[in-house]
Structure 1
């Protein structure tokens, strides 16, 4: 969770600052070095993160890569950086030339927004042409964060990452092919189904008809699967709500403290710039003090965790995932004004 929060903060920084960044050097300092820090490596320790790492190539001496991350005196990741405005192109990358001259198994090509991790799955000590992991830091998904975590200093294990890299790489390629086939079914893909269903001769006309049928069938299948998932989720949510409604006596045991009400008033003072007061409703539970939009538990604005040893303010992103922020007193809530106001936008836009 801590890594995910740090990556979110970095992503927000990238979005906010990128238009003010003009050079590759600025990209390195503003975006790439903070990413290396997030992975737990000390960018101020020259034995851990080496800038302008020399990777001598045959007769060419003094060839350099932008950064090398070391562990136990051995380079574990070499990094090449581009200006954030540049598209990443591994074929033009110096990493191909430098990879086999070092002992590393991993190379990273990045422009501070897009990240591409490479290894040598196809030929030992020769960097693969395609990355096994790639992502846009401003559009991270939870499963990708889990993969990034494996490169963290505290988790780094070469063998485990390499073993997993093969699955990641080929699963990604398969998903890409499936996406392409769904968008525009190829002749071979259509023939796979037509030959199992149609008993006559597969003429050009028949194949044309089956192309439309295959495309339509896949679209309908995916739509039905999505609807089934949504209906299942809504059904579970309804059951949960019914259970909550059946337990008024349990809720009555909850005692709202004056500190929670003080915090609620602060949140109201912040949010009334965008909402009328009657739409900002509190609901106290045994686990937390919730503040909702329109008294709808599907529209959480924030949560207050004030009854334990440590106090936290919980804010929500567009996916309704909670991030807890430590606070000393309820007055610290004012420091998170922007996040609270942003939560309103998720429901009102």
Structure 2
């Protein structure tokens, strides 16, 4: 099995089991040890490769332990500290990693709850672990650009020099991506003022601030919509459609009427869910026949832009997400999903809904 496939398989396991793992020990057994063995390729039962409960006396601190130390050529290379999967990772949880980092040869440290993996090194000061990670891997939402960097940590491909060389760029690019995403979700005053000053020549008064808060948010959503359109049209253009279908046209893949109701906020997650449903439905009809309409209570995916031909409904406005599917009598059944990838589990039902109307 390829590295990416192994990572995807573990991510699926994490998504299915995370809510049932309540303790740190269970997290280690269910998620951390499989990551060390199947993803990184180290033998968790060989103390020459993986040392559990690793102890190194630090000053007056005696007998403190780090959960795992990964050894290569007789030297500790990676330190791993674990927390329960249901808990949030905080820098306070890394106190032992900070202390051990300075008294071992390790250049890499990992803080994890089995779901999120934060990787640290010593970019800011030699032999002193940075306060911020250079790489954050979330198994609930894997950033595919990070997979080659994770692979460099594996036993077969371990390349410490390459990892450290790339760490600074990874650290700041990752932090910038997270900050940009936060600004798209909830623009700060600084973000609003920055863009307003580029397009508005008047004074930045309170009235202008209030006006452009809405406009910047709307422009951000439209920009994301257009980006999703471009990606989807590129993907669909490279896909062989049903033999009797015409080629993909240049018509818009997503058309958002953001002026329809100012209280409706179309999220990137809804657009990505729509993209998945559309890709599934396109096995039955032309892509431009699958459309969407957002409403206050749900995001509807329709055939022929017709409310009487619902393909699916995305209920993403609460913490628990649901995929709504309707039978021939328009009775809706909501299916709880934890991640967008789970929509693919209902591909047959989505295609059947399209066939009923077409």
Distance 1:8 1:297 in 2: 30
For the residue of structure 2 that corresponds to 1:44, the secondary structure is coil
> Are residues 229 and 45 of structure 1, via their aligned partners in 2, closer, same or farther at CA, if it must alter by over 3 Å?
closer
1:35 equivalenced with 2:35 (yes/no)? yes
SS at match of 2:6: helix
* SS of structure 2 residue aligned to 1:147: helix
RMSD between aligned residues: 3.2
- The residue aligned with 1:176 is 178
TM-fit CA distance, 1:5: 2.3
Higher helix share: 1
Bigger CA drift: 153-162 or 125-134? 125-134
* Bigger mean CA offset, 78-87 vs 65-74: 78-87
For residues 77 and 63 of structure 1, what CA distance do their matches in structure 2 show? Answer: 17
Query: What residue is the counterpart of 2:264 in the other structure?
Result: none
d(CA) in 1 for partners of 2:149, 2:172: 15
- In 1, are the aligned partners of 2:21 and 2:86 still within 8 Å (CA)? no
Equivalent in 214, 217, 220 of residue 218 of structure 1:
220
Pick the structure with greater CA Rg: 1
Give the Cα separation in 2 of the matches to 1:202 and 1:104: 51
Task: Choose the corresponding residue for 1:124, options 111, 123, 126.
Answer: 126
Give the 3-state SS of the residue equivalent to 2:239 in structure 1: helix
Deviation at 1:159, TM superposition (A): 1.5
Please give the alpha-carbon distance, in whole angstroms, between the structure 2 residues aligned to 1:17 and 1:184: 31
- For structure 2, the residue ranges without an aligned partner over 5 or more in a row are 248-279, 287-342, 351-358
Quote the Cα distance in structure 2 between the aligned partners of 1:101 and 1:241: 65
The aligned residue for residue 281 of structure 1 is: none
C-alpha distance 190-83 of structure 1, shift in aligned 2 (>3 A): closer
**In structure 2, what is the Cα distance between the partners aligned to 1:243 and 1:165?**
47
| In 2, Cα distance between equivalents of 1:184 and 1:16 | 30
- Superposition deviation, residue 100 in structure 1: 1.3
- Deviations 1:169-209 (Å, cap 9, x if unpaired)? 21121112212222332233222233333333222222322
Superposition TM-score, scaled by structure 2 size: 0.63
Q: 1: CA distance between counterparts of 2:233 and 2:157?
A: 38
Residue 127 of structure 1 and its aligned partner are, at CA, apart by 1.4
- Identify if the C-alpha distance between structure 1 residues 184 and 240 changes in structure 2 by more than 3 Å, giving closer, same or farther: same
Mapped to 2, the partners of 1:187 and 1:14 lie a distance apart of 37
**d(CA) in 2 for partners of 1:41, 1:241:** 48
Instruction: State yes or no: 1:95 paired with 2:94.
Output: no
Q: TM-score normalized by structure 1?
A: 0.65
Report the alpha carbon displacement of residue 15 of structure 1 after superposing the two structures with TM. 4.5
SS at match of 2:347: helix
Partner of 2:106: 104
SS of equivalent residue, structure 1 residue 115: strand
1:1-349 pair list within 5 angstroms: 2-18=2-18, 21-38=21-38, 39-93=40-94, 94-237=96-239, 345-348=346-349
SS in 2 for 1:237: coil
In structure 2, do the counterparts of structure 1 residues 10 and 175 end up closer, same or farther at CA, with 3 Å as the change threshold? closer
Distance of 2:92 and 2:186 partners within structure 1? 28
Aligned length in residues:
260
- Map Cα deviations across residues 48-75 of structure 1 (whole Å, 9 max, x no partner): 1111111211122322211100111111
